[in-house]
Amino acid sequence: MNLDYHALAPEIIVAVTILVVLSLDLSLPTRLKWVVAVVGVIGLMAATVPVLTLAFGDDVGPRVMLGGTYVVDDFALVFKGVFLAAGYIVLLMSVSYIESDRYYMGEYYVLMLVSILGSVIMASSRDLITLFVGLELVTGPLFLLAGWRKGDSKSNESALKFFILGVLSTAILLYGMSFLYGLTGSVKFDDIRAASGALADNGAFQMAILFTLIGFAFKVSAVPFHAWAPDTYEGAPTPVTAYLSVSSKAAGFVGLLLLTYLAFPQVTDVWGPAMWILAAASMTLGNLVALRQHNIVRMLAYSSIAQGGFILVPFAAAAANNNAILPDAFSATVVYMVIYAFMNLGAFAFVIAATAKTGSGEINSFAGMGSYAPGLGLVGAVFFLSLAGVPPMAGWFAKFVMFQAVLSAQSGWVTALAVIAVLNAVIAFVYYARIAKVMWMDPVAPGAASLVSRPAPVSASLGLAIALSLIFVMVAGVLPQIAAFFGEASKALASGL
C-alpha cells in the first residue's frame, strides 16, 4: 500500500484536530469550553501548511496513492485549500454565535470538522467508493447541525426535511453508482471512462449516469431537487447555513466535476442536456422566487440555488462541443466556485452582524443602516453587489468566465442558455441591489430609532471572518488573475481528455 504522508498531511491534521477537540470537550469544565473553538481554528490553519508546501514546494506534481483511487494533484490542492479556508471562516463566524446561546460547543465543532474532513477527502477521490465516503462525511454531520437550535421548531423542521431528502438523494446516488459498477466492472473513474464508449447506447448505463448526477443535483440544491434548501437554510444556525451554501455545495460540485470530466467525458450527449435543464431551471426559479423574499436568509437560500445554476452553465457548454472546450469550461466552473465561496461567506457573516444589530432578519429592518452603522452597511453593500456581478468586486469576473465558456462552445442551444443566464443576471441584480438601496437610501423605520444607539459590537472572530472575505472579494475583483490562477492550476485535470 503506497502512502505519501506529506500528501495526506492535510487530512491527518484535520483528523487529529477532531480527536483533540473531542478529548478537550470531554475533559474541560464549562467555563473553558471556548478552548475547543480555538483548537479547531488552529487545526484548520495548520492543515493549510502542507497544502501550500505541496503546491509550491520543490517536489511538486501529482501524488498517486492506493492504486490510483486517491490522487493529490493541482485540482485536489485547489479545493483542499478552498475547503480549509471556507471552514476556517465558518468557524470564526461560529465562535460568538455559538457562545451567545446554550449550544453544545464541543459537539458542534467536532461535527463541523468532520464535515470539512469529508470535503478534503472528496477533492482527492478518483473512484466511486472514496467519493461516496467523502460525500457522506460532508453531509452526515450537517443533518445534526441543521437542527442545532433545539428549542426552535423551525430548526427542528429544517433538520427533518434535510434528513429525509438527504437520505433519498443518497439512495438515488448509490443506486446509480451500483449500476455503474455492475456495467463497467470497476469503481475507478479511469476504468469507467474507458468502458463508456462501448456502453454509450446502453439504456441501463445511461440511466446509471443520470441517477448518479441526480444524486449530486440534490446536494447542490439544483432545481427541481432544491425543496430542502430554503427551509433548511432559514431554520439552521446562520454559520451552518453559510457552510451549507458554500462548502457543502462546493463538495457537490467537486463530485459533479470528477464524474462528468473524468468518468463520463465520452458520453456528453447523455449528461449535457440534463445539465442544460438543471442550469436554466435553477437560475430562473431561484432568481424569480428570491425577488419575492423579505427575510434575508431565505433570500440568500434562493440566491444560492440561482448561483448554483450559474455554476452549472459551463457544464452544459463543455458537453456541446465534443470535448473541445473541456479545459476552459472546467476552469470557468472552478473560478466561479472559488469566488462564490468568499463572497457568499462574507454575505452570511454580514447577516450575523446585521441581525445582531437590528434584532431582525427582515430586509426592511436594515433600512437606514448606512446612517447609524456605515461600516456595516458598506460591507453588506460590497458583498451583495459582488454577488450581483458588479465591478470592481470579484463577482464580475465569475460571471465573465462563465459567459466566456458559453460563447466558446459556439452552439445554438448553449447560446440560448447564455441568453437565459443574461436575463437571470439582470433579475439577480434587482434583488441584490435592493438590499444596498434599503441600507443606504431608505430612512430608518419608525419605531426603530433606538437602533442608532443599540450596542451590538462585532466580535473579533466575526470581524476577522468579514475582513478575510472582504479582502479576497476586493483584491480578486481588481486583480482577477488571482482568481484565474485557481482555474488554470486545476484545468490540467480536463486537458488530457
Task: Kindly list the averaged pLDDT for each block of 10 residues, start to end, along the chain of length 497.
Answer: 86 96 89 88 96 84 88 93 96 85 78 96 95 94 87 82 91 94 94 90 93 93 91 90 92 94 89 93 96 93 95 90 73 95 95 88 88 90 95 94 86 87 95 94 73 70 94 95 89 66
Q: Are 396 and 429 in contact (CB under 8 A)?
A: no
Give the pLDDT confidence score for residue 496 in this predicted structure.
52
- Structure confidence at residue 157 (pLDDT): 86
Q: Around Cβ 333, how many Cβ atoms within 10 Å?
A: 31
| Cα–Cα–Cα angle for 154, 160, 161, rounded to 5 degrees | 90
Rg of the chain taking only CA atoms, in angstroms:
22
pLDDT recorded at residue 372: 85
Strand ranges inside 323-382, DSSP E: none
The set of cell numbers assigned to 266 is 465520452
pLDDT, position 409: 78
| Residue 232 C-beta-side C-alpha neighbours within 13 Å | 28
According to the model, what pLDDT value does residue 453 have? 61
**Alpha carbon distance 326, 268 (integer Å):** 11
* Structural contact between residues 127 and 187, judged by C-beta atoms closer than 8 angstroms: yes
CA terminus-to-terminus distance, the chain: 28
Residue 384 sits at the vertex; the CA angle it makes with 118 and 420, to the nearest 5 degrees, is 85
> Which pLDDT score, from 0 to 100, does residue 95 have?
87
**pLDDT of amino acid 30:** 78
Encoded amino acid at 356, one letter: A
CA distance linking residue 439 with residue 171, whole number of Å: 44
Residue 100 phi/psi, 5-degree rounding, is: -75, -10
How confident is the model at residue 93, as a pLDDT? 92
Look-up: residue for cell 446612517?
371
Residue 259 and residue 314 in contact, taking contact as beta carbons nearer than 8 Å: no
CA distance 429 to 488: 28
Contact (Cβ atoms closer than 8 angstroms) between residue 65 and residue 3: yes
Give residue 102's pLDDT.
63
